[in-house]
Chain A
Amino acid sequence: MRLFTYILMGFLIVCAVSVSFSKNLLNSILIYMSYSLVMSLIWIILESPDLAITEAAVGAGVTTVLFFVTLKKIQAMVNSDKKEDEDDEQKEK
């Protein structure tokens, strides 16, 4: 169990660092979501299931959805294939 906790902790740190280093906003939101999930597992290991349930519902569920909606609002979620096509067209011109 101790080893499992350490693995989860390491994963947590990797997630936390890679959120800020990810270039794509969508990717960083997904990584943040996995961070919340790992955090809820750690809450269960720390014997506080109350917090684990809330973390899973709010951190991984609602917050992520709100982030997605915001990204869509500011039009940062650009379809990568579409963008590449546009770039190619511009090069041809």
Chain B
Amino acid sequence: MSRKRSEKEYQKTAEFHFRRWLEGSKDPFLDTVELKPQKKFAEEDAVTKKRQQELNELRLALYDKNKNRVVKGFEVLYKICSPLFCILIIGALLIAVSFLPPEGNASNPVNNEVEARYLEAGLQETGAVNSVAGMILNYRAFDTFGETNVLYIATCCVMILLLVEDDKIRNKLQLNDREFEPRNDVILQKVAMLLVPIVFMFGIYVMLNGHLGPGGGFAGGAMVGAGLILYVSAYGTKKTQRFFNEKIYTVIKVTALCLYGLLMVYFYYTGANGLDNHIPLGIPGNILSSGLILPINVLVGTEVACTMYAFYALFRRGDV
């Protein structure tokens, strides 16, 4: 028969010590082993320097192409392979081009019924003299809507990456517009004064005449954006923000996209191509003709102009 052990007796047994050591509640070496404070490992400066020098020499020798054969071999291989690879890719592309059908051939796959329909019935159905505008803004207006969305999303991404909201941080980062430039460049300002109105006018002209002549929303918008960039770089941010600041930018951009979407919904709901169209097409050749193409051109143009300017402004100083 076993008898009950008292606490003190139990504490003397090996089992108790083992358990205590296992649980980590008590350091087994504490109070039982004499502990000496260790000497701090100190190396002489000369030794350290010598060791570092050796290390550096070793490193240099490792990447020295005269001593390391692998590096030398890699360099030679690189020099041989890079032109070879270039020639290979160019050759592959040229071979691919040689398989293309000759230009202007009547039996080319480009000349199919889609193109014939666009060219023959385009003027009648869309009312646009410029058949390209009729194609991309009437037959394929939904594609263009997707492209406009892509522009919007691209600006949003650039904003996420580059926008600095806090004025203090912006000052600290020295993102100020004209930090490193001559304050008022006379030549640039005079040239800008002469050119900016012309650029704006031509851009708006191209935008409004997208259905009559070459150009359209994207080209006109890019021109207006380029004019804005010219104005900013000549006159600085303060003068530009009197008529184009972040608030106006946001309103214009979102309004243009939403209006475009609404117009598209209306266009498709009331019957797009081939169904009854409730929008009068007007006389081809007039400014106010070809249904929705003119307003869509203007909306795309404003969107593109905003995008161009925003890219520049965000790149330049992290602010619209």
Chain A interface (Cβ < 8 Å from any Cβ of B)? 49-50, 52-54, 57-58, 61-62, 65-66, 69-70, 72-73
Contacts and interface: CB of A to CB of B under 8 A. Distances in A.
23 contacts: A50-B216, A50-B219, A52-B214, A53-B214, A53-B219, A54-B219, A57-B219, A57-B223, A57-B225, A58-B222, A61-B222, A62-B222, A62-B225, A62-B226, A62-B308, A65-B229, A65-B312, A66-B311, A66-B315, A69-B315, A69-B316, A70-B315, A73-B315
Nearest to B162: A73
A26 to B, nearest CB: 15
- Contact residues of A: prevailing secondary structure: helix
Contact of B214 (A50, A61, A65): A50
Contacts of A65: 226, 229, 233, 312
Contacts of B225: 57, 62
Nearest to A54: B219
B206 A53 contact: yes
A73 B175 CA distance: 10
Contacts of B214: 49-50, 52-53
Interface of B: 130, 132, 180, 206, 214-216, 218-219, 222-223, 225-226, 229, 233, 308, 311-312, 315-316
Nearest to A58: B222
Q: Is the interface of B mostly helix, strand, loop or mixed?
A: helix
Contact of B229 (A49, A54, A62): A62
Given A50-B216, A57-B226, A62 B312 contact: yes
A73 B316 CA distance: 8
Given A53-B206, A53-B214, A66 B312 contact: yes
Contacts of A66: 311-312, 315
Most chain B CB atoms below 10 A, which of A52, A57, A72: A57
Nearest to A77: B180
Given A49-B214, A50-B132, A54-B218, A61 B226 contact: yes
A61 B222 CA distance: 9
Nearest to B136: A50
Top 9 A-B residue pairs of the complex, sorted by shortest distance between their CB atoms: A49-B214, A57-B222, A53-B219, A61-B226, A69-B315, A54-B219, A50-B214, A57-B223, A58-B222
A73 B229 CA distance: 17
A29 B49 CA distance: 47
Nearest to B226: A61
A55 to B, nearest CB: 9
Contact of B215 (A53, A58, A70): A53
Nearest to A55: B219
Given A50-B132, A50-B215, A69 B222 contact: no
Contacts of B311: 62, 66
Contacts of B233: 65
A89 B82 CA distance: 40
Contacts of B308: 62
Nearest to A60: B226
Contacts of B218: 54
A62 B222 CA distance: 8
A36 B4 CA distance: 99
A74 to B, nearest CB: 11
A62 to B, nearest CB: 5
